[in-house]
Structures are given as C-alpha cells and as structure tokens.
Amino acid sequence: MADYLPTSLARADTIAGLAKGLAVLESFDTERQRLNATMAAQRAGITRAAARRHLLTLAHLGYLESDGAYYWLAPKVLRFSGAYMATARLPRVVQPELHRLAARTGLSFSCAVRDGDFVVIVARSAVRESGDRLLAHGVHLGSRLPVHATSTGRVLLAALPDAERTAWLAGAELPRLTAHTVSDALALTAVLNDVRRLDYCLAVQEHELGIEALAVPLRDMRGNTLAALNVVTATNRMPPRELVAQMLPLLQEAARTLRPLV
Amino acid sequence: MADYLPTSLARADTIAGLAKGLAVLESFDTERQRLNATMAAQRAGITRAAARRHLLTLAHLGYLESDGAYYWLAPKVLRFSGAYMATARLPRVVQPELHRLAARTGLSFSCAVRDGDFVVIVARSAVRESGDRLLAHGVHLGSRLPVHATSTGRVLLAALPDAERTAWLAGAELPRLTAHTVSDALALTAVLNDVRRLDYCLAVQEHELGIEALAVPLRDMRGNTLAALNVVTATNRMPPRELVAQMLPLLQEAARTLRPLV
DNA sequence: TAAATTTGCGCGATGATCGCACAACAACCG
DNA sequence: CGGTTGTTGTGCGATCATCGCGCAAATTTA
C-alpha cells in the first residue's frame, strides 16, 4: 500500500499512477493469485474504477494476463528479476560460494536481504534430494519470509542501529507461525541482543515445524552488514547443536571469503 | 535497443504514469545497470523531467536504489518473480520434472515461454559441475534470450499460426549472434517449417559458440503450445546427432507426462 | 419473475503531471 | 584564469490525463 507519510513534505515529486499501479501489481501474492477489479481495488486501497484502469494498463503492457474479468501475473514480470540477477553484484558473487557450500555439505544455503518486514532471498543453492523435497520446498529466489521468525531476518535486524531497531519493533506485528515462534517484542529484543553478541543466529522451528536454520551476517570491508547467509536443514536430520558445530565455521569462512568481493 | 511500443499510450483507459514508470524500470538491463535521469529518459523515450519524477517514485517505493544521481535495481524487484513463481501453474508443475531430467542425465534443462522477440526462462534445472560452469553460466530464471536463435524460441515460433508468424518475421531483426546464427527471414522460415514437421528443434552454436540445445513443445490437452522444454550442453561434450538420439526421447516423454498437468 | 447485488464503463470536473526555463555546477579550453 | 559550453536540479503555471460518480447491464439470490 502506498504510504506518503508527511515526514518530508518536499516529496511532491511522486507519480501517483505509478505508485498505484505497483500497489496493484503487488496485490498479487501467494494467497491471492487471481484478482478482479473489485478485489484489486480493496487490496491496493484505491477505487474500483482506478483499479480497473491500472489493471488494464498492466495487462496491455504484458505484465498481467486476463480473461476479461480476472487478472493474474504473466511471465513477463520475471524480466525484472532477470535484470536484477544479471546486474546486481551481491547475487553474482555470492551464488558460486553457496553452490560450493551445498556441494560440500549436501545442505541448502541462501543469501537474503531485508525489505521491510520480510527478508528477500537473493541467492540460493538448494540440494536436490532425489524424491524427497521436504526442505522448505516453496522457497524460491525472490521468496519473502517474515523477518522476525527467520535466522537471516534476525541477523539483519541485529545489525540495525538501536534507534532503527526500536522503531521497527514498535510497529511490527510478529505473527506466531509455529508454537516455537518468538512473537513478543521484548523476547525478540533479547534474542537480537544475543545475536549481536554471538554474531550468528540459530532459529529452530520458528518459521516452519521440523525446519531449523543457522545464519551469519555478510559484511563489506567497512563493516556494513549487506546481507545474511544461512543454511537450512531438517531438525530430525541434524540436531541444533550439531548444526552450529558443523556449519557455523563454514558459514563464517564463506562470509570472510566474500567480504572483499561484495 | 528495444523500443517500448508507443501504441500502449494511444489506447484509452491507460495510465500513462504507470506505463512510463515501467518503461523506466525496464530500461535497466544487462547492458545498462546504472542510469541517471538523462539516460533513463532517452532509454524510456520520455523527457528528462518526467524520468526524474518516475525514478524518484520508484526509489521511494523501494524498487530502485540511488546515490542521488544514479539509480540501480533494488532486490525488491524480486518480489514479482517470487509471486509469479509461487502462483503460476506452469513453473510449479514443470520444475520437478526438469530436476528429474537433470539428475538422470547430468545436463541442464529449461522451460521457456515467448515474450515478443525473446524467450523467458520460467523454470530451469542447471547441473552444477564442481569447478567448471562453462554452460550458459549467465542464464537465470527470468533470463531473456533471442527467440530466433534459440531452440526453445523456434519451437514457440513454429507453433504460431501462419499469419502471426509472418507478421512477426516481417518486423523482426534477427541479429547474427555467432557465425552459425540463421539471420535471414527466408532461411528462418524454412527452419521453422522443419521444426513443425519434426516437432522438435536442434540449435547448434546459433546463440553461443560451443553450445547446442534441443527443444520440444509443451502442449496442453487441447493441443495449444504453452511453452518449450529444452536441454543444453556443450558441443564438445556431445555431438548434435548423439544429443538428439539420447535426449529427444526423454524430452518428449517429459512433455507427454506434463501434458495433463499444465 | 422480481429484487438485490455486482460489474462495465461514459462523462464532465479537477488536480496531478507536463516540460519549459533558469540557476547552479562542472568541464573544457583558448 | 575567465569565458564558454554542456549537464543537472527543480520551481511554476497551463493543460490534459485521471478521478470517481452514477447509470445500465449482467449476474446472483429469493
């Protein structure tokens, strides 16, 4: 949804039509894959007539397909991720290292950055266990996972300046995703302090039952945290303690190797 | 450079701001990764002042990052591909089959659809040969490859109704990418007729030297060609004739298996 | 069949977007 | 070193694209 907060009033240079159109495009997500004008309007927070015009425009440009009444995402939207993946430095340098780690260990590795309340997967090397795809099988490039319940998200939150972290915590929702999710701001603060101290984060079954993950920050030479690297596995395949013992050194080494490159 | 059709602006019920904003966003590609207002303006075909406003809007919404003068794509653009991949039927059902093929053969398989002069990769299973990544290493999900010089592209062109094919050929550019690229409309017509007759396409070193690919159409139960499946390998690893002999049956079987699912 | 609800879309009013134009800055050079 | 030329940032009034109202058609419900 568009937020034109009056923080900086000089921001009159915004194209409303573009903001609305992207809000419409964003309202197609995992839950709502097919929308008509009415539904798109309420999801994007605009009027039905406006939603219709924006949907028609997006369909004409090829980003949506339509049967006349309903609209859904067209493959053309992949153009943006293709361009991002081809040009952005981060995924380009991180990807080979993730492949190396996956080949060496047989586990799945990802690299994520934060976007608001979510982390976005920008690189990933999933192991392909013939037959069973138990492991976070819905996680693609570009997947968005809640920042408070993921190892990568917490590493990225822990890297925020105190003021920013506090501000975020004040406005965050922290939904409980499993029985193990830390969904209380105070408890999460304590967790984040631990992450800062230890410089890694272990998240066991907080996002999905049976799944655990271990993340470390990826910093540049000036010490800015640019992203988080993590490894994901099933709890019944490797107990948490063993995960840390075996994988933390590998992740830290990868982060060190990548440091001059990112 | 690909001109973005001005016809879209002529159509009633189109939001000009949205069309321009997306043209601006599209002007970031592999060649031009960082743009300032002037460059974006000329690439998107709008005035500098307008480009500036649209860039600012996109940056505020989080789709672009900026240092004040230059702009580049932010990871948030992956949101669209994430949504597409999670919801679209085609990649969801095709992906596992591609993995199976790759695991069985040790070669790389893709699924592509057409978008204008390009094919868009919507699913892919690349083999990860430890160390050497000779194989079309720049091809990601969402990559766009020229339709006339790729096996998948030709399968998709061959499936067009005659009128549409002729119209496309009349306006197409057919750039020569290697010494082997068929870049003449008449010759391409002959190739496409062969593809129709054989119901597969072999493209040897037409897109990239040392690379060959074999594609078959993926049809639904009503006979509509929805996409193309292909396998890519190095010419020195498997001679063209052998590629067809060994891989064509597998691709055809995969297409048959997927037919009721797509 | 009628009533209730949803959807498609035309239309005139209005305010968002347009690009001109000028100032500030940078680069080049005679 | 000052003059000249090219580039960039952005304010401003005019204009035309966008707004959402509201009706009619389509669809659903009773």
Spatial CB neighbours of B240, under 8 Å, sequence gap ≥ 6: B202, B204, B212
**Of the candidates B39, B79, B66, B189, the residue with the CA atom closest to the CA atom of residue A80:** B79
From A10-24, A99-113, A144-158, the region with the lowest mean pLDDT: A10-24
The domain total for chain B is 2
| pLDDT at residue B135, rounded to an integer | 56
**Residue A237, SS3 per DSSP:** coil
From first to last of its 262 residues, what are the pLDDT tens digits of chain B? 322 333 333 346 788 889 999 999 999 988 888 998 899 998 898 888 889 999 999 999 999 999 888 999 999 999 999 999 999 999 999 999 999 999 899 999 999 999 999 999 999 987 765 444 545 556 788 999 999 999 999 999 999 999 999 999 999 999 999 999 999 999 999 999 999 999 999 999 999 999 999 999 999 999 999 999 999 999 999 999 999 999 999 999 999 999 999 8
Tell which strand C nucleotides have any atom below 7 Å from a protein Cβ: 6-10, 16-21
Residue A136, pLDDT score: 56
Please report, for residues A119, B87, B166, B199, B213, the alpha-carbon distance to residue B186 in angstroms, rounded to integers and kept in the order given: 50, 39, 11, 20, 22
pLDDT digits (tens, 9 = 90+) for B197-235: 999 999 999 999 999 999 999 999 999 999 999 999 999
If you compute the radius of gyration of chain B from its CA atoms, what whole number of angstroms results?
20
Whether residues A81 and B83 touch (CB distance < 8 A) is answered with: no
* Contact call for residues B192 and B201 (beta carbons, < 8 A): no
Contacts 24+ apart (CB under 8 A), B251-255: B251/B101, B251/B200, B251/B214, B251/B215, B251/B216, B252/B200, B252/B216, B254/B97, B254/B98, B254/B101, B254/B229, B255/B216, B255/B217, B255/B218, B255/B219, B255/B229
pLDDT at B141: 87
Q: How confident is the model at residue A204 (pLDDT cuts 50, 70, 90)?
A: very high
Q: CA at A102, C1' at C25: how many angstroms apart?
A: 51
A36 within some domain: yes
Residue A221 lies in a domain: yes
Q: Residue A35 gets which letter from DSSP?
A: B
Residue with structure tokens 């907060």?
Answer: A5
Question: Is A254 found in the same domain as A161?
Answer: yes
Residue B55: domain span: 7-77
User: Do residue B72 and residue B120 come from a single domain?
Assistant: no
By the CB < 8 Å criterion, does A3 face chain B? no
Which pLDDT belongs to residue B128?
Answer: 62
Q: Which of residues 58-97 of B touch A (CB under 8 A)?
A: 58, 60-63, 72-88, 90, 96
Burial class of residue A162 (count of CB atoms within 10 Å of its CB; 0-12, 13-18, 19+): exposed
Do A66 and A136 sit in the same domain of this protein?
no
Comparing A3-12, A151-160, B160-169, B198-207, which segment has the lowest mean pLDDT?
A: A3-12
Same structural domain, B139 and B187? yes
| Same domain membership, residue A235 and residue A203 | yes
Q: Is there contact between A68 and strand C, defined as CB under 7 Å from any strand atom?
A: yes
For residue B138, the model assigns a pLDDT of 67
Asked if B1 is an interface residue toward chain A (Cβ–Cβ < 8 A), one would say: no
**B53 vs A14: CB contact, 8 Å cut-off?**
yes
Q: Distance (Å, rounded) from C-alpha A240 to C-alpha B22?
A: 45
- B189 C-beta less than 7 Å away from strand D: no
Q: Is the pLDDT of residue A1 over 50?
A: no
Evaluate whether B141 touches A81 at the Cβ level (below 8 Å): yes
Say yes or no: A34 and A159 in one domain: no
Instruction: Collect all residues with Cβ–Cβ distance below 8 Å to A87 and sequence separation of at least 6.
Output: B28, B29, B30, B33, B72, B73
CATH of the domain at B45: 1.10.10.10
Are B100 and B71 contained in the same domain? no
**Domain check: are B146 and B173 in the same one?**
yes
CA B161 to each of CA A76, B149, B171: distance values in angstroms, whole numbers, following the listed order? 22, 20, 16
- B90/B123 Cα distance (integer angstroms): 8
Last-in-domain residue among A33, A52, A77: A77
**Chain B environment of A63 (Cβ under 8 Å):** 22
Assigned domain for A122 exists: yes
- Domain-located, residue A198: yes
Q: Residues 49-108, chain A: which have Cβ under 7 A from strand D?
A: 49-50, 53
Give the least confident one: A104-113, A128-137, A205-214, B134-143. A128-137
Determine the residue type at A225. Answer: T
B62/B113 Cα distance (integer angstroms): 28
Q: Please give the mean pLDDT across all residues of chain A.
A: 89
Q: Which of B28, B76, B96 sits opposite A115 (nearest CB)?
A: B76
pLDDT at A166 over 60: yes
Is residue A8 a part of any domain in this protein? no
Question: What does the pLDDT look like over A46-83, one tens digit per residue?
Answer: 888 889 999 999 999 999 999 888 999 999 999 999 99
Q: Which of B52, B77, B102 is the last residue of a domain?
A: B77
User: Which domain CATH number covers A239?
Assistant: 3.30.450.40
* Residues sharing a CB contact under 8 Å with residue A89, sequence separation 6 or more, in sequence order: A262
Tell me if B17 and A15 make a contact (CB, 8 A cut-off): yes
Q: Does one domain contain both B174 and B200?
A: yes
Q: Give yes or no: residues B140 and B218 share one domain.
A: yes
Among chain A residues, the shortest Cα distance to B20 is held by: A18
In a domain, B2, yes or no: no
Q: What are the structure tokens assigned to B41, written together?
A: 């303006």
- Among B45, B77, B109, residue at a domain's last position: B77
Query: Between the CA of A49 and the C1' of D23, what is the distance in angstroms?
Result: 14
Considering the domain architecture, whether residues B60 and B94 belong to the same structural domain is answered as: no
In this complex, the answer to whether residue B18 has its CB under 7 A from any atom of chain C, a nucleic strand, is no
Beta strands in chain A (DSSP E): 64-66, 71-73, 108-115, 118-125, 144-146, 201-204, 211-219, 225-234
- Cβ atoms of A205 and A180 closer than 8 Å: yes
Contact of A181 with A196, CB cutoff 8 Å: no
Q: Which residue is it, tokens 């997967």?
A: A121
Is residue B186 a part of any domain in this protein?
A: yes
Regarding whether B248 and B179 lie in a shared domain, the answer is: yes
Mean pLDDT of A221-246: 96
The per-residue pLDDT for A13 is 73
Return the closest nucleotide (C1') to the Cα of A19: C16
Enumerate residues 124 to 143 of chain A having a beta carbon within 8 A of any beta carbon in chain B.
125, 128, 130, 133, 138, 140-143
B124 part of a folded domain: yes
The CA distance from A55 to A48, in Å, is 10
Distances (CA, A) of A140 to A95, B19, B129, B144: 14, 28, 21, 19
**Chain B: closest CA distance from residue A84 (Å):** 6
